[in-house]
Amino acid sequence: MDNTIKPFKVHVSDADIADLKQRLQLTRWPDQIPNTEWRYGAKTDYIQQLCDYWQHHYDWRKHEARLNQFAQFTTGIDAHDIHFIHARSQHANAVPLLISHGWPGTIVEFLNVIDPLINPEAHGGKAEDAFHVVCPSLPGYGFSGTTQREQVDTLAMAEMFAELMARLGYDKYIAQGGDWGAIITSNLAIVDADHLYGIHLNMPFGYALTEDPHEGLSPQEIDDVNAMNSFEAMETGYQKIQGTKPQTLGVGLNDSPAGLCAWITEKFYTWMDCDGDIESVLDKDELLTNISVYWYTQSICSSTRLYYEVTQNARLKFLEQPVTVPVGVARYPKEVMRFPRQWCENVYSQIVQWQDFERGGHFAAMERPAEFLAEIRKFRALMCE
């Protein structure tokens, strides 16, 4: 595996674009019981509308160009080609920032915040808010390509990202993440603690130490725990199949763009703070660009295998020993996992920043970019005074 850092440019062939449109044209749609909306899963007529737009109106070339506005590279680490955006600020005092996405996200989650992070003065910030941004595609996701061996889990990814930051020459940095990115970042706080100013999470983890898990919790925190229990009961079917038989699921999702669209869009609908109207938060183009990355890279099956690796191996170092680096937390009301602060303090021993927001869900950088930026800048000031 070549460990040099090579420039990378996103380019999808005309043949692949034509193939997508033909597959969309040939979709065989299921029926749906009238007036059931999203209760049985993806709402069929909305997915039909979205796929019709994807086939006839969505312009991949436009969004490909947007992806390519940022310098991108690949480098070989642990037998994997890791793809990453590396957007450097012009400011000499800029702080390196590693930002990691989750599932079913991609680097597309961060497209609205990268320029404000590296060029803060053009976006309401100050020069001292500047970052050098490193935004990798998770191994097995998007332009990092598919995984080719077992046990490429969140610990392996944390170790790869630590090597990536070292290879880029960053001796000290901040790491940020949500969803899988939060787990990778938490593992990173164990395996690369000496090189971290701190970590920032929008989905921190925790657990109760008391026999009664509600002991010492506020009414709102009890509601949060009950909501997590409800999520576990009603919204984790995808985890069960992806954590046990991802290859079976992958046959359908890798072959049918409509199936892929439904599988991913339903998660955005359910996990965002959108009041039942997905396009009140993200427009069709944003949704489809994220989905298109999975489609054109044929990485959906590989991405779901991460659930299997974690389910079967559970190498979550941050739950086995305390995270001692400074931690910042941003919590959004529609986040799927909202652990009480006292539970999180059993995992992260030095929480130095904690902010609860009134709006927002699972995809913080996409849904609430201004608040996301403000939180990261505040954490930077705290860590790098």
User: Which sequence positions are flagged as catalytic?
Assistant: 179, 307, 362
Helices then strands, counting H and E runs in the chain, come out as 15, 9
Q: Is 35 exposed, middle or buried (0-12, 13-18, 19+ CB in 10 A)?
A: exposed
- For residue 314, count other CB atoms closer than 10 A to its CB: 12
CA–CA distance, 99 with 133 (Å, rounded to integer):
7
E strand or H helix at 27: none
CA–CA distance, 253 with 265 (Å, rounded to integer):
13
For residue 176, give the nearest of 167, 192, 189 by alpha carbon. Answer: 189
Tokens at 120, concatenated = 């803060």
For residue 51, give the nearest of 277, 262, 214, 367 by alpha carbon. Answer: 262
Per-state percent for the chain, helix, strand, coil, to nearest 5: 50, 15, 35
